[in-house]
Amino acid sequence: MKYFLILSFLVLTNCNKVIKKDNVQVLRHEDQLKVVDFETAQMAKDTMLCTAYLSSSISANPALFCALSEKALFFSIESFLNDRGFLLVQQHGYNYNFQALCQFNHHCIIGMMERLKTIHNFDMKFHDALKIAGLNLCDPFQRDSFVIEKILVNSNEAALDLLFISNFLKLQPSDKSFETALKTIVALADEKVLLQFLSKSGYAAFNPHTDQYKEFHPEKLAHLSPEVVEAILKKANL
């Protein structure tokens, strides 16, 4: 299993390079023109046309979608996700349908997330919602690719993601999308990530003098299913 994950990571890294190379400069000429037209539509505040460009490329041409995402303004992303049924605009803030994007390519989810981080004063909850959507992609390969490329690149950040999802499940224990997100990360996370999560959650305290974990508090994860807790402890070698 370990060698399969390493091989998968190498393949995914290569695929990621291919997608990233397909920016405006190296896209086909006809696609470069579409990017120019998309920017023109944004300048004209033509929300309907911007949404149409993003919608037409999401499945047929992920590289073009990523190039469009790099240029997208907030209103374009918001309108597109609203049109796809993911973003449910309410009087105060948003609600989300995490299953609405389940057929997406993982690069497309990551592209939108990266673009949102560059937009001033956007709602971080929006970014986190896309992360949960990525962890609920229907295609197992796309879902695992998202975890490897977006979640597990930093062990501390991955542990914080697990903590965020775990804390949400304390409030909404029946939320299937967050439950799936947690299981998806745990399935691919290594011992280091899971030990950091257990420490951050208060489940286990680390003693730097003995280089061991002690003072276990099982009640800190009592809101999770016994099967999930067992999987976490097994992979953490506790």
The pLDDT assigned to 13 comes to 39
Predicted pLDDT at 38: 96
- Give me the pLDDT at residue 124, please: 84
Band of residue 223 on the pLDDT scale cut at 50, 70, 90? very high
Inform me whether the pLDDT recorded for 137 exceeds 90: yes
Q: What number of other Cβ atoms are within 10 A of residue 38's Cβ? A: 23
Choose among 99, 73, 104, 72: nearest CA to 88: 99
pLDDT above 80 (res 24): no
Q: Does residue 41 carry a pLDDT above 80?
A: yes
Which pLDDT score is estimated for 170? 94
Question: How far, in whole angstroms, is CA 76 from its chain's centroid?
Answer: 19
Q: pLDDT band at residue 191, thresholds of 50, 70 and 90? A: very high
Q: What pTM did the predictor assign?
A: 0.83
Question: Phi, psi (5° rounding) for residue 87?
Answer: -100, 115
137 Cβ neighbours under 8 A, 6+ residues apart? 101, 102, 103, 104, 106, 109, 143, 146
Which two structure tokens, joined as six digits, stand for 209? 């003098």
Provide CB contacts within 8 A for 144, sequence distance 6+. Answer: 8, 184, 188
Per DSSP, what are the bridge partners of residue 95? 88
For residue 9, name the pLDDT band (cuts at 50, 70, 90): very low
> CB of 128 within 8 A of CB of 167?
no
CA–CA distance, 26 with 23 (Å, rounded to integer):
6
Query: What average pLDDT does this structure show over 173-182?
Result: 95
Residue 148 has pLDDT above 50, yes or no: yes
Q: How confident is the model at residue 34 (pLDDT cuts 50, 70, 90)?
A: very high
> With 70 as the cut, is the pLDDT of residue 214 above it?
no
Cα separation, 81 vs 100, in Å, equals 9
Q: Is 206 helix (H, G, I), strand (E, B) or coil?
A: strand
